[in-house]
Amino acid sequence: MDEGSDPDAPGDREGACFEAGVKFGTIYHQFAGTPLSPDSADSLARAMEEAIENQPHCESVTVEPRYDELERAVEEGPASYVEWTGRFADVRMTIRYEGVEVRTRMAMTEGYPLMEVTDVRG
């Protein structure tokens, strides 16, 4: 982004945060509803990481299944699996865009999978 031509135009820091938001939207909405069991949690987590790491500007993605929550949901439900939602994983991403590094996370906060920028450098 050309920061010199328009003082109101988004800069590289905003662009990097936007890229992080795109990746969160993809990870959340692409995989929501995927059948998930305690036995398949690791393979789905790796697939999510590899899919998102294909996107431009993505340096790293870590998806950590929340086994306690997953096992409880399966025990309470009528089937041996549930549908993936953000409550079943903690996610961390690092995005690098035009010399700016953005670190993000998604974790459960008061029963909601909150996505947030945790650090911006550059």
Taken in order of first residue, the domains within the chain and their CATH numbers are 12-121 (3.30.1300.20)
Q: Which three-class secondary structure string do you get for the chain?
A: CCCCCCCCCCCHHHHHHHHHHHHHHHHHHHHCCCEECCCCHHHHHHHHHHHHHCCCCEEEEEEEECHHHHHHHHHHCCCCCEECCHHHEEEEEEEEECCEEEEEEEEEECCEEEEEEEEEEC
Instruction: Note if the pTM is more than 0.85.
Output: yes
What local confidence, expressed as pLDDT, does residue 5 receive?
Answer: 76
What is d(CA 49, CA 54) in angstroms, rounded to the nearest whole number?
A: 9
What local confidence, expressed as pLDDT, does residue 4 receive?
Answer: 60
Mean pLDDT of the chain: 93
* CA nearest neighbour of 51 among 33, 28, 18: 28
- The two three-digit tokens of residue 46, written as one number: 């790796």
Whether 3 has a pLDDT exceeding 60, the answer reads no
- The two three-digit tokens of residue 52, written as one number: 């998102």
Q: Residue 10 — very low, low, confident or very high, per pLDDT cuts 50/70/90?
A: confident
* pLDDT tens, residue by residue, 12-65: 999 999 999 999 999 999 999 999 999 999 999 999 999 999 999 999 999 999
